[in-house]
A and B are shown apart, each in its own frame.
Chain A
Amino acid sequence: MITLLLLHPALAAAPSSGPDPVLDAMVDELDRVEDLSLEGAPRAYFASYRVFDGDSVHLTASLGGLVRDDSGPSRQGTVSVRVGSADQDNGNFQSMFNSTRGFGALELVLAPDTLALRHDLWLQTDRAYKGAVENLARKLASERGETGVDPTPSFVLTPPIVAAFPAGAAPDHDALAALARAVSARFLTHPEVEASRVYIAAGGGRDLLVDTTGTRLVRPSEELDLRIVATARAADGHTISDHQTFIVRNATALPSQSRLEAAADDLAARLEHWRVAVTPEAPYVGPVIFEGDAAVDLFRRMLVPALSGTPPMERAHGGMGSDDESPTALSLKRRVLPPGFSVVDDPTAEPALPSSYVYDDEGVAAQRTPLVTDGIVRGLLASRIPSHDAPASNGHGRDVSREEVRAMPSFLQVAVERALSANRLYALALQTAKDYDLDHILVVRRLADPSLEQGSSRSFFLSMMGGSPAAELPDPVEVVERYADGHEVAVRGLQWNGVDRRILRDILAAGASTRATFLQPGGGMSFGDRATAGLPVTIEAPSVLVSEVELDPDTGAVPTVPKLPSPLLGG
């Protein structure tokens, strides 16, 4: 629980100098935004600065040694300027110049020097203002002649927040480096693993937000992402990649070194198990149970994108820029889950969670938000960019990329009125399987992380930076055929055929819940100031039985098996 509230002179907008050069610089330069003007152009009616001020550690280790060490102090921020009025401004409109921000994240000087910091902010603010003026003109031009333009305002002004919390602790570089080496060294004893990496991304410090309404907010910033990634090869040449992820606030919340080493051993053992699994020859159509992490991933991929009330970013007609792949939110009163299911998001429910916060990235107090009741959508996650069904922020505005803030979950809890035991869920599934002339069902326990293909650091990085499609269901990596007598046969190489959000309505029953924390990538490049380049999101969801799912065997090209065995085998 966060109880300490500090007041800095700048927080109270007092005109005296203070001992916080970063906050002073932000406030001083923000004070000048009202002076920005171009003849005949609208002035800024709102501007904000957000700065991460702390230390970050980025490590990659392999087989006991470091491959990458990019660590040190970090001070990055974004400048957001809105011109026009809250009813219609330059925001949420994508053209060559992004909507409200200058050119994305800004690297600020590291030294605690107010004048130098102001210099950086001055130039970025100038660019952001000019870009905002142009963007508003483009937006108005684009909307001219359109019928049915949404009358929803562009932005919601909220009362200012003045608060400061203690900074998060800086990550201990040397301790984390030693940990990465030690955990990665476990794979020296697992020669069947072709490639392995241990990634650690950690950050600790302050997250400062000031805006022209008077918000002066200093939040703690503390997150740590440790991933163990490994790839093995089956006898037929297919590679199998899997990972073990730990997303926590800081190192004290990590499992002990011996447990992490054991997790590496478990990962290797899991790969060895799946390496010898059989590949089905025929497609499967029938009931599927999503269990544990796979169930959480199912809700993450299929449900979360539908609950963001932030409207998709508009784009100029014929304009350049990436396609907006933001999925459209569900409308209120729509059925998204079977009766008996409810969904709530509450960023404040468990402060120890890495995804928890008190104020969101727009300076709005986080609120518990009921989203689904008895399977019907009753609310949406909302940011300060309103939509018809999410007209006011409920404290879920989060920086998903350099370009935009979207309403995102923090701690999403999917609950069901009546949960079955695992055995009853299996029994019900096997009963359903008879309708398909099947003597077994499929139980999916883990889905692939598309970013981990071949254990490639590049693909991993791309995914972490938002490259993986959030609204598609990754193929299963851990699947068993389960028979009526309880025995299970491991299978691999299956791919979903035609799974989309409607799968949620085909849920027949639910079982025990699992909780997991992910890094949710945004629609584009993730906001640069996050050590972990993704938003921590915790989801708690039950195992579910889906009445009918189709999976096909992978018929893709099979890679060539290396001519030589791994040198770790002593060949």
Chain B
Amino acid sequence: MRIFMLVIAISLPLAASAAALGSAEDPVVSALTGEMTRTLASWKGQDDAPYYLGYRVTDTHRIAISARYGAIGEDTDTRSRELDVSARVGTPALDSTHRLRGEYTFDSDDHSPMMLSFDAPALALRPGIWRATNDEVRAAEEGILRVRANRQVKVAETDPSPDFSVEPPQTSMGERAELTIDVGLWKPLLVELSRQLDRDEHIERSLVTLDAVAETRTFVTSEGTQIREGRTWYRIALEAAATATDGMDLDLYRWKDVSSATSLPSAEALRDWADGLVQRVLELREAPAGDPYTGPVLLHGAAAGVFVHEVMGHRLEGQRQKDEREGQTFRDKVGQLILPDFVDVVDDPTLPSYSGFDLNGHYAFDDEGQPAARATLVDHGVLRGFLMDRSPIRGFEHSNGHGRAQEGREPVARMANTILETHKPTPYASLRKQLIDEVKRQGRPYGLVVEELAGGFTDTGRQEPNAFDILADTVWRVYADGRPDQLVRGVDLVGTPLVALSHVIATGDDPAVFNGFCGAESGMVPNAAVSPSLLISQLELQKKEKSQERPPLLPKPATGRTASVKP
């Protein structure tokens, strides 16, 4: 089972910062180069010597502060340095990473990264690099034997593309990422906001979090690539939760991801967020539970981006086009219309921002050390290409800088900043009118507007239904007879990709950004999904799973020291 999801919060953040030439005496580069040279020399001239060695070192400095109920709840400041080694034995045409057919290898790409010292000199780093290199090369030596045997006993592959593309080496030594945030200034505001979120008796749980991460990735490969790229990422997030009388847990989360501390929202804006969040949770608490539904749906704001990500994005990731366990929804549809002809879809990690919003999926080099590039996926509704790492597929021989992974995983092609753009922007008011027209045309009492989402997930494999599930938080019924809109709770969007995409009938003029983290076989990576509102003539909603727990039996504590509340 392969389920890929886009969520808001996960512990692997990235973002953008300038890359400038730095010192060539980087101890990490020095240690990596030393061990790589030694390793290649020792295997030189031998059968099944590694033809490729790649090192990725991730330095992370993370500050996490949270407040709840008017007090600081968490306050941490941690650093780490993790090493991933990639060794390939064989040739680029057929190497030790080749997918073994007929073997169930779920999560076989999951290696524990080697933890290296983050404050030791180069010499102290080398024993760890040595051991990790030895393990990877030995595993690759064994791997190529299994690959060759597997190829002999199985039928010919549908896509005989090489395992590894030949790419020019890259050199770019950017500056190390550093955090520039005065947490002392933020703490009082976090406390204030947490008190504000907690003010209503029905809000059971609430949380304000500030995360700041400086990440520096260093790549050294046997092809001559030497890259160092630093990125910083900051998130402020507010969360409030209540329980409906039927036990449904109503947990809303609002957040903003930025690449610079100076871009975080102002205190005034955050106070407004807090008020709005509490109000919406309380409204949802009183709202009726939604019913299963099929009919017109207007995906408003960031909800549309998540739809694009889940329904289409994962199915355009390159390696899925030659993995015969995958559904390969779009593999043979290049040149065909898969969306309305007024729609383009690109994935562009080179963009640091869009419409004034920082994008989570921005980077200069991907996790295979390839330069990030804008990938045109759909042009005027016609499928033009795929997201590519260094694993070629038929008709697409080279990377377009989308090989991505979290620490401990092998990179595969993943989304970065996935953007749906329209040639036919429609103002939101007109889009809403079209929704009502479509509802009337279909003879339904109401249509739905989906505003807020918690994320989503999808399955792309052949062994399970190729379905998606988008986790809706805020859904409105829009009645055809003019009654006021009605908020409902507890429904998710579900469906299958080709049907869903074939029912997109109009697009808004209001591109919105959803910044989150996407999980798939190469782990959690930061993403952005951008789209204007989308009007879909037919989508299905199903009831959301809900808790069976009663709300708390006692009222929440109201003062620092209270007398017991007697019935």
Which residues of chain B have C-beta atoms less than 8 A from A61's C-beta? 117
Asked if B128 contacts A62 (CB within 8 A), the reply is: yes
Which residues of chain A have C-beta atoms less than 8 A from B39's C-beta? 564
Interface string of B59-81 (1 = CB under 8 A from A): 00000000111111111111111
Interface size class for chain A? Answer: 35 or more
Asked if B559 contacts A568 (CB within 8 A), the reply is: no
| Interface stretch (choices A35-43, A430-438, A532-540) | A35-43
Which residues of chain B have C-beta atoms less than 8 A from A145's C-beta? none
Nearest CB of A to B192, in Å: 13
Interface string of B74-116 (1 = CB under 8 A from A): 1111111100000000000000000000000000000010011
Asked if A567 contacts B38 (CB within 8 A), the reply is: yes
Query: For residue B187, which residue of chain A has the nearest CB?
Result: A111
In angstroms, Cα B559 to Cα A117, docked, is: 11
Asked if B554 contacts A36 (CB within 8 A), the reply is: yes
In angstroms, Cα B561 to Cα A64, docked, is: 49
Query: For residue B557, which residue of chain A has the nearest CB?
Result: A118
Interface string of A176-217 (1 = CB under 8 A from B): 000000000100100000110000000000000000000000
Asked if A109 contacts B68 (CB within 8 A), the reply is: yes
B484 in the interface (beta carbon within 8 A): no
In angstroms, Cα B119 to Cα A188, docked, is: 15
Among A34, A65, A129, the residue within 8 A (CB) of B117 is: A65
Number of A-B contacts (CB under 8 A): 167
| Interface stretch (choices A69-77, A85-93, A332-340, A356-364) | A69-77
B463 in the interface (beta carbon within 8 A): no
Query: For residue B120, which residue of chain A has the nearest CB?
Result: A65
Which residues of chain A have C-beta atoms less than 8 A from B71's C-beta? 109-111, 113, 115-117
Which residues of chain B have C-beta atoms less than 8 A from A458's C-beta? 112
Nearest CB of A to B199, in Å: 12
| Interface stretch (choices B130-138, B260-268, B505-513, B525-533) | B130-138
Query: For residue B552, which residue of chain A has the nearest CB?
Result: A126
Which residues of chain B have C-beta atoms less than 8 A from A65's C-beta? 117-121, 124
Among B73, B74, B119, B567, the residue within 8 A (CB) of A66 is: B119
In angstroms, Cα B413 to Cα A516, docked, is: 54
Which residues of chain A have C-beta atoms less than 8 A from B567's C-beta? 35, 37
Interface size class for chain B? Answer: 35 or more
A119 in the interface (beta carbon within 8 A): yes
Which residues of chain B have C-beta atoms less than 8 A from A123's C-beta? 204-205, 552
Nearest CB of B to A491, in Å: 27
Which residues of chain B have C-beta atoms less than 8 A from A28's C-beta? 557, 560-562
Asked if B564 contacts A67 (CB within 8 A), the reply is: no
Asked if A67 contacts B118 (CB within 8 A), the reply is: yes
Asked if A68 contacts B115 (CB within 8 A), the reply is: yes
Asked if A38 contacts B77 (CB within 8 A), the reply is: no
Asked if A37 contacts B553 (CB within 8 A), the reply is: yes
Asked if B121 contacts A64 (CB within 8 A), the reply is: yes
Asked if B561 contacts A24 (CB within 8 A), the reply is: yes
Asked if B75 contacts A110 (CB within 8 A), the reply is: yes
A31 in the interface (beta carbon within 8 A): yes
> A62-B120, A65-B119, A114-B560 known; A119 and B42 CB under 8 Å?
no
> A28-B561, A64-B120 known; A116 and B73 CB under 8 Å?
yes
Asked if A567 contacts B131 (CB within 8 A), the reply is: no
A159 in the interface (beta carbon within 8 A): no
Which residues of chain A have C-beta atoms less than 8 A from B563's C-beta? 31
Interface string of B529-567 (1 = CB under 8 A from A): 000000000000000000001101110111111111111
Among B138, B198, B204, the residue within 8 A (CB) of A560 is: B138
Interface residues of A in 555-571 (CB under 8 A from B): 560, 562-564, 566-568, 571
Which residues of chain B have C-beta atoms less than 8 A from A68's C-beta? 80, 115
In angstroms, Cα B557 to Cα A115, docked, is: 7
Query: For residue A27, which residue of chain B has the nearest CB?
Result: B561
B126 in the interface (beta carbon within 8 A): yes
Which residues of chain A have C-beta atoms less than 8 A from B204's C-beta? 123
Asked if B566 contacts A62 (CB within 8 A), the reply is: no
A482 in the interface (beta carbon within 8 A): no
B354 in the interface (beta carbon within 8 A): no
Asked if B561 contacts A566 (CB within 8 A), the reply is: no
Nearest CB of A to B85, in Å: 14
Asked if A32 contacts B565 (CB within 8 A), the reply is: yes
Nearest CB of A to B191, in Å: 8
A130 in the interface (beta carbon within 8 A): yes
Asked if B120 contacts A568 (CB within 8 A), the reply is: no
Query: For residue B142, which residue of chain A has the nearest CB?
Result: A560
In angstroms, Cα B37 to Cα A571, docked, is: 11
> A70-B78, A122-B554, A567-B35 known; A115 and B119 CB under 8 Å?
no
> A70-B78, A110-B72 known; A130 and B550 CB under 8 Å?
yes
Asked if B72 contacts A109 (CB within 8 A), the reply is: yes
In angstroms, Cα B77 to Cα A104, docked, is: 25
B145 in the interface (beta carbon within 8 A): no
Asked if A63 contacts B69 (CB within 8 A), the reply is: no
Nearest CB of B to A116, in Å: 4
A457 in the interface (beta carbon within 8 A): yes
A17 in the interface (beta carbon within 8 A): yes
* Most interface-central of A17, A37, A38, A109 (chain B CB within 10 A): A109
In angstroms, Cα B126 to Cα A562, docked, is: 14
Which residues of chain A have C-beta atoms less than 8 A from B129's C-beta? 567
Asked if A567 contacts B126 (CB within 8 A), the reply is: yes
Query: For residue B43, which residue of chain A has the nearest CB?
Result: A563
A225 in the interface (beta carbon within 8 A): no
A53 in the interface (beta carbon within 8 A): no
Asked if B561 contacts A114 (CB within 8 A), the reply is: yes
Nearest CB of B to A36, in Å: 5
Which residues of chain A have C-beta atoms less than 8 A from B558's C-beta? 115
> A123-B205, A126-B553 known; A562 and B131 CB under 8 Å?
yes
Asked if A568 contacts B554 (CB within 8 A), the reply is: no
In angstroms, Cα B553 to Cα A109, docked, is: 22
Which residues of chain A have C-beta atoms less than 8 A from B560's C-beta? 17, 21, 24, 28, 113-115, 118
Among A36, A72, A457, the residue within 8 A (CB) of B75 is: A72
> A65-B120, A67-B117, A562-B131 known; A34 and B554 CB under 8 Å?
no
A29 in the interface (beta carbon within 8 A): yes
In angstroms, Cα B77 to Cα A60, docked, is: 15
> A115-B69, A567-B130 known; A67 and B115 CB under 8 Å?
yes
B123 in the interface (beta carbon within 8 A): yes
Which residues of chain A have C-beta atoms less than 8 A from B74's C-beta? 107, 110
Nearest CB of A to B355, in Å: 38
Among A24, A109, A129, the residue within 8 A (CB) of B69 is: A109
B34 in the interface (beta carbon within 8 A): yes
B445 in the interface (beta carbon within 8 A): no
Asked if B73 contacts A35 (CB within 8 A), the reply is: no
B127 in the interface (beta carbon within 8 A): yes
Nearest CB of A to B417, in Å: 33
Which residues of chain B have C-beta atoms less than 8 A from A564's C-beta? 38-39, 42, 130, 134
> A65-B119, A66-B119 known; A119 and B130 CB under 8 Å?
no
Nearest CB of B to A114, in Å: 4
In angstroms, Cα B556 to Cα A188, docked, is: 57
Interface residues of A in 138-188 (CB under 8 A from B): 185, 188
Nearest CB of B to A51, in Å: 14
Among A67, A115, A194, the residue within 8 A (CB) of B70 is: A115
In angstroms, Cα B119 to Cα A240, docked, is: 28
Query: For residue B80, which residue of chain A has the nearest CB?
Result: A68
Query: For residue B31, which residue of chain A has the nearest CB?
Result: A567
Interface residues of B in 7-34 (CB under 8 A from A): 34
Which residues of chain A have C-beta atoms less than 8 A from B67's C-beta? 109, 111
Which residues of chain B have C-beta atoms less than 8 A from A34's C-beta? 564
Among B124, B130, B134, the residue within 8 A (CB) of A188 is: B124
Given contact pairs A130-B549, A195-B127, enumerate 6 new A-B contacts (beta carbons under 8 Å).
Answer: A63-B117, A65-B119, A69-B78, A126-B554, A130-B550, A563-B137
Q: Can you give 13 A-B contacts (C-beta < 8 A)?
A: A17-B560, A28-B562, A31-B563, A35-B565, A38-B550, A62-B124, A67-B81, A67-B116, A115-B71, A115-B560, A563-B42, A567-B126, A571-B38
Give 5 closest A-B pairs by Cβ, nearest first: A65-B120, A65-B117, A116-B71, A113-B71, A111-B71
